[in-house]
Structure 1
Amino acid sequence: MNARLILATLPAMALSACNLAPKYVQPATPVPPSLPQGASYLALAAGETTADALGWRQFFTDPRLQQVIASALANNRDLRATLANVERARALYRVDRAALLPVIDASGTASRSQNSSNSNNRNFQVQAGSSAFELDLFGRMRNQSASSFQTYLATDEARKATQIALVAETASAWLTYAATADALKVAQETLLSRQQTVNVNTRREANGIGTKLDVATATTALNSAQAAVADFTTSLAQARNALDLLAGAPVTDDQLPTTLGQGDQTLAALPVGLSSEVLLRRPDVLAAEHDLRATYADIGAARAAFFPTISLTGLLGFASGGLSSLFDGGNFQKTLSGTARQRSFDGGATSSNLAAAKASRDAALARYEGAIQTAFREVADALARRGTIEDSVRAQSSLEANAATAYRLTQLRYDAGIANFLEPLDAQRTLYSARQSLVTARLTRASNMVELYRTLGGGLNETTP
Structure 2
Amino acid sequence: MTMMNSMIGRGFALTVLAVSLTACQSMKPAVPAAEPNIPAEYMALAQDGSQSIASQGYREYFADERLEQVIALALENNRDLRTAALNIEKTQYQYQITRNNQLPTVGASGSVTRQETATAPDPYTTYSAGLGVTAYELDFWGRVASLKDAALESYFATQTARDATQVALVGQVAQAWAAISFAEQNLKLAEQTLKAQQESYNLNKRRFDVGLDSEIPLRQSQISVETARGDVAGYKTEVAQQKNALNLLVGQTVPDGLLPDKAVVHITDNQVLSAGLPSELLVNRPDIKSAEYQLRAAGANIGAAKARLFPTISLTGSAGYASTDLSDLFKSGSFVWSVGPSIDLPIFDYGTRRANIKISEVDQKIALSDYESTVQTAFREVNDVLATRANIEDRIAAQRRLVEATNKTYQLSQARYRAGLDNYLTVLDAQRTAYSAEQGLLALRQANINSQIELYKTLGGGLTETSTQASTQVDAPNADATQTTVN
Normalising by structure 2, report the TM-score. Answer: 0.88
**Counterpart Cα distance in 1 of 2:238 and 2:11:** 81
* Secondary structure, aligned partner of 1:262: coil
Provide, for residues 79-105 of structure 1, a one-character-per-residue CA deviation record: whole Å limited to 9, x for no partner: 111111111111111111110001000
The aligned residue for residue 438 of structure 1 is 441
The aligned residue for residue 228 of structure 2 is 225
Provide, for residues 264-289 of structure 1, a one-character-per-residue CA deviation record: whole Å limited to 9, x for no partner: 45644333123344235411111111
* Secondary structure, aligned partner of 1:394: helix
Cα pair distance change 1:451/1:146, threshold 3 Å? same
Q: Identify which of 41, 66, 71 aligns with 2:68.
A: 66
Report which stretch shifted further, 12-21 or 376-385. Answer: 12-21
Q: Does 1:34 pair with 2:41? A: yes
Cα pair distance change 1:3/1:322, threshold 3 Å? closer
Taking only the aligned residue pairs, the percentage that are identical comes to 39
| Paired residues of 1:280 and 1:372 also in contact (CA < 8 A) | no
**Counterpart Cα distance in 1 of 2:455 and 2:147:** 38
Provide, for residues 333-377 of structure 1, a one-character-per-residue CA deviation record: whole Å limited to 9, x for no partner: 211111122011111101100111111111111111111111110
Q: Identify which of 333, 338, 357 aligns with 1:335.
A: 338
Q: Does 1:422 pair with 2:387? A: no
The aligned residue for residue 274 of structure 1 is 277
Q: Identify which of 308, 312, 319 aligns with 2:311.
A: 308
Query: Shift in Å at residue 413 of structure 1?
Result: 3.1
The amino acid that maps onto 2:236 is: T
The aligned residue for residue 109 of structure 2 is 107
Q: Identify which of 31, 45, 49 aligns with 1:24.
A: 31
Once the two structures are superposed, the pairs formed by residues 64-463 of structure 1 within 5 Å of their partners are 64-109=66-111, 124-264=127-267, 267-321=270-324, 325-463=328-466
**Counterpart Cα distance in 1 of 2:394 and 2:222:** 37
The amino acid that maps onto 1:210 is: D
| Paired residues of 2:27 and 2:307 also in contact (CA < 8 A) | yes
Cα pair distance change 1:328/1:121, threshold 3 Å? same
Cα pair distance change 1:127/1:110, threshold 3 Å? same
Query: Shift in Å at residue 443 of structure 1?
Result: 0.3
* Secondary structure, aligned partner of 1:21: coil
The aligned residue for residue 472 of structure 2 is none
**Counterpart Cα distance in 1 of 2:375 and 2:15:** 51
**Counterpart Cα distance in 2 of 1:434 and 1:28:** 46
Report which stretch shifted further, 12-21 or 334-343. Answer: 12-21
Q: Does 1:55 pair with 2:62? A: no
| Paired residues of 1:131 and 1:313 also in contact (CA < 8 A) | yes
Cα pair distance change 1:265/1:51, threshold 3 Å? closer
Query: Shift in Å at residue 185 of structure 1?
Result: 0.6
Cα pair distance change 1:164/1:261, threshold 3 Å? closer
| Paired residues of 1:278 and 1:456 also in contact (CA < 8 A) | yes
Report which stretch shifted further, 136-145 or 55-64. Answer: 55-64
How many residues matched?
Answer: 457
| Paired residues of 2:75 and 2:166 also in contact (CA < 8 A) | yes
Normalising by structure 1, report the TM-score. Answer: 0.92
The amino acid that maps onto 1:6 is: A
Unaligned runs of 5+ in 1: none
**Counterpart Cα distance in 2 of 1:7 and 1:109:** 27
| Paired residues of 2:32 and 2:368 also in contact (CA < 8 A) | no
| Paired residues of 1:263 and 1:442 also in contact (CA < 8 A) | no
**Counterpart Cα distance in 1 of 2:229 and 2:15:** 92
The amino acid that maps onto 1:361 is: Q
* Secondary structure, aligned partner of 1:319: strand
* Secondary structure, aligned partner of 1:316: strand
Unaligned runs of 5+ in 2: 1-5, 117-121, 469-487
| Paired residues of 1:53 and 1:464 also in contact (CA < 8 A) | yes
* Secondary structure, aligned partner of 2:358: helix
**Counterpart Cα distance in 2 of 1:83 and 1:73:** 11
The aligned residue for residue 6 of structure 1 is 13
Query: Shift in Å at residue 123 of structure 1?
Result: 5.1
User: Over aligned residues, Cα RMSD in angstroms?
Assistant: 2.4
The amino acid that maps onto 1:99 is: N
| Paired residues of 1:181 and 1:258 also in contact (CA < 8 A) | no
Provide, for residues 40-72 of structure 1, a one-character-per-residue CA deviation record: whole Å limited to 9, x for no partner: x2444343x533321111112112222221222
Cα pair distance change 1:270/1:281, threshold 3 Å? same
**Counterpart Cα distance in 2 of 1:142 and 1:347:** 26
**Counterpart Cα distance in 1 of 2:63 and 2:322:** 76
Report which stretch shifted further, 455-464 or 435-444. Answer: 455-464
**Counterpart Cα distance in 1 of 2:123 and 2:364:** 66
